[in-house]
Structure 1
Amino acid sequence: MNVPDKLDHTPLETARRFSVAPMMDWTDRHCRFLHRVLSRHALLFTEMVTSAALVHGDAQRLLRFDPAEQPVALQLGGSDPAELARATAMGAAFGYAEINLNVGCPSDRVQSGRFGACLMAEPDLVAECVRAMRDATDLPVTVKCRIGIDDQDTEQSLDRFADAMVGAGVAALYVHARKAWLKGLSPKENRTIPPLDYDRVRRLRARLSPLPVMINGGLDTLDTAVAELEHMDGVMLGRAAYHSPMLLAEIDALVFGDTAAPVTLDAVMLAMADYAEAQIADGARVNQITRHMLGLANGLPGARHFRQILSVEAVRPGVGPEVIHQALAAVARPALAQAS
């Protein structure tokens, strides 16, 4: 099994060289376990969890994770310094490696709660939040942001925002290289329509050095991601890593110099079947796990049947980890073809 022992995880500063972005409804604990099977070294992120949900809700359900996921960062959303401090302390008690504040999400729901990308217009408030979070933990407190919002000048406004974060003691910045347009564009459109400006993020990194600055946005292949490492302290991939997860099997060698052989599809599926068996015994449903696995066989003969089994068959009553073995059997793998 490719999952490292809980005491054998990659140091956070190294893991930031490549991270998988926090994605709402996607990067839950089952998704993160899959990604850890694929990569021993990448930094993983939770979905954004609001500070209010943690303070007033079911923290155990929202924060639980498998120690094998480490290093994993908890991303919080909020704008109340005291509430964020309480949520940070709760996250630290659960053992996360890093606490990250979301200042990049452009959705209407997030704006109405006065957090996410709209906070780029209030750097002093964000700085107050970061200070409160830092006072609540010894863990690194980081921020994920955009290069700007709406009609902001991305030179002056981003520098002012970043300087406020540095003054508050932020440990690192993750910067999505697009503006967020808070009016007129949907969250989906905000991921594609505003133009990318990698040069702006590179200038920010040069200006803030030695503060670690990681880049995010539009990096949809390993080649484009690895190329950015010439300019940045780290790269963050989101949907490309989710929809084509086997690319994560390549980054340990490409990014981290790991000489171990990349994990195979067979090994991934067997590891996830074992994981599913344990999770089902703990009350999970197998489709909660398999929904994150649909892209594992992309490009292989039988991939369509593979996806059908994991999405349709996995929701049938009483189905267990055997559905993962069935999906694997539907795929013609090169390794098996060579062995025959």
Structure 2
Amino acid sequence: MNLPKKVKIVEVGPRDGLQNEKDTISAEVKIELVNRLAAAGFPNVEAASFVSPKWVPQMATSAEVMHGITRRPGVVYSALVPNMKGFEAALEAGVDEVVIFGAASEAFSQKNINCSIAESIDRFAEVARAAKEHRKRLRAAVSCAFGCPYQGEVPLEAVADVVRRFRELGCDEIDIADTIGVATPGKVRPVMETAIREFHIEGLSGHFHDTYGQALANIYASLQTGISIYHASVAGLGGCPYAKGATGNVATEDVLYMMNGLGIETGVDLDAVVEAGQFISQQLGRRSVSRAGNAIAAKRAG
């Protein structure tokens, strides 16, 4: 199959990438990062999370960040929203897209939130209705679609079931996520084809973690199925909580370098993203984990 000629890259670094950082990152640094990423040309930046600061202290400044950023026309600013309290805060902060979530693994759902998959998604029905009433985009993430730290293999029918449930809630976009980074290219195709049977392909996205170094290969396998939306995190921000010391999100710079090499249009300026990646890595006091980002930065430093 021919690869898509154009893809949308959703930049998730400011939320998914930074949320597990132990040292507090100031709202000013987060605002600067979001502004740099939006200026680089991303059509969608996941900028905040309206969860309880008790559970995710790093995201306590989300309202301040959303009020402080320079809004660029045409850019969708997204936030993770777990409940109606979070939705109301997101609405007040001017979020464009609400992100809800559910696992394809029954064991993961029980271990994490002490309820079944069906119950967890039912809890989002009110948030979904409110998002639609307020004309906000609604996106859902299907975590552990390729494997689970507790039960191992995840049946294809479980993925199909969660995608159907999110479709019925009226989601505009659904992310198929390799939360623990265990997927390999051979596994990607059947999972994505299962999702495609349940939801329109233009609204499906791949969210691949690089825990075992497979993310770029998995994105390529996903491109072969026709999926044209991908999530990535600048500088590879975000570890994997289930694999000690492992990287989590695939680095945006590496994804862009591959897309450019394949002649696939992204509308994003790789050089500007490299600069943003070096900026946030300096703020965090460590080296970026993006190989392409570090190579381009070193070449530029000459």
Residue from 137, 142, 147 that aligns with 1:140: 137
- 1:334 pairs with 2:294: no
CA deviation map 1:64-103 (0-9, x unaligned)? 45135743211123xxxxxx23432432332323110132
Which residue identity is paired with 2:299? P
The alignment of Structure 1 onto Structure 2 pairs a total of residues equal to 255
When residues 64 and 215 of structure 1 are mapped into structure 2, their CA distance, relative to the original with a 3 A threshold, is same
**2:235–2:253 Cα contact (<8 Å) kept:** no
**What is the match of residue 122 of structure 1?**
119
**Distance in 2 (alpha carbons) for counterparts of 1:334 and 1:46:** 30
When residues 65 and 288 of structure 1 are mapped into structure 2, their CA distance, relative to the original with a 3 A threshold, is farther
- Percent of aligned pairs with the same amino acid: 6
Which residue identity is paired with 2:232? L
**1:119–1:126 Cα contact (<8 Å) kept:** no
**Shift in Å at residue 50 of structure 1?**
1.1
**Distance in 1 (alpha carbons) for counterparts of 2:104 and 2:199:** 23
**Shift in Å at residue 163 of structure 1?**
1.5
**What is the match of residue 20 of structure 2?**
25
Residue from 208, 219, 228 that aligns with 1:225: 219
**2:63–2:89 Cα contact (<8 Å) kept:** no
Instruction: Give the match's secondary structure for 2:113.
Output: coil
**Shift in Å at residue 256 of structure 1?**
2.9
Residue from 175, 196, 200 that aligns with 1:205: 196
**What is the match of residue 241 of structure 2?**
none
**What is the match of residue 291 of structure 1?**
284
Gaps of 5+ in 2: 1-5, 238-246
**Shift in Å at residue 19 of structure 1?**
1.8
**Shift in Å at residue 333 of structure 1?**
4.6
**2:254–2:293 Cα contact (<8 Å) kept:** no
Instruction: Give the match's secondary structure for 1:142.
Output: strand
**2:50–2:62 Cα contact (<8 Å) kept:** no
**Shift in Å at residue 61 of structure 1?**
3.4
**2:35–2:70 Cα contact (<8 Å) kept:** no
When residues 139 and 333 of structure 1 are mapped into structure 2, their CA distance, relative to the original with a 3 A threshold, is same
When residues 256 and 297 of structure 1 are mapped into structure 2, their CA distance, relative to the original with a 3 A threshold, is closer
Residue from 267, 275, 285 that aligns with 1:268: 275
**What is the match of residue 234 of structure 1?**
229
**Distance in 1 (alpha carbons) for counterparts of 2:218 and 2:62:** 37
Q: Superposed, which structure 2 residues align to 1:160-175 within 5 Å? A: 160-175=161-176
When residues 132 and 162 of structure 1 are mapped into structure 2, their CA distance, relative to the original with a 3 A threshold, is same
Gaps of 5+ in 1: 1-14, 78-83, 179-190, 273-286, 304-330
CA deviation map 1:281-305 (0-9, x unaligned)? xxxxxx997218732896899x9xx
**Structure possessing the higher relative contact order (Cα contacts under 8 Å, 6 or more residues apart):** 2
**Shift in Å at residue 20 of structure 1?**
3.0
**Shift in Å at residue 201 of structure 1?**
2.5
**Shift in Å at residue 223 of structure 1?**
6.2
Instruction: Give the match's secondary structure for 1:235.
Output: strand
**Shift in Å at residue 158 of structure 1?**
2.3
**1:46–1:74 Cα contact (<8 Å) kept:** yes
**2:7–2:229 Cα contact (<8 Å) kept:** yes
Kindly name which structure, 1 or 2, has the bigger radius of gyration based on alpha carbons: 1
**Shift in Å at residue 209 of structure 1?**
1.8
When residues 35 and 100 of structure 1 are mapped into structure 2, their CA distance, relative to the original with a 3 A threshold, is same
Which residue identity is paired with 1:32? V
**Shift in Å at residue 268 of structure 1?**
2.8
**2:98–2:139 Cα contact (<8 Å) kept:** yes
When residues 193 and 138 of structure 1 are mapped into structure 2, their CA distance, relative to the original with a 3 A threshold, is same
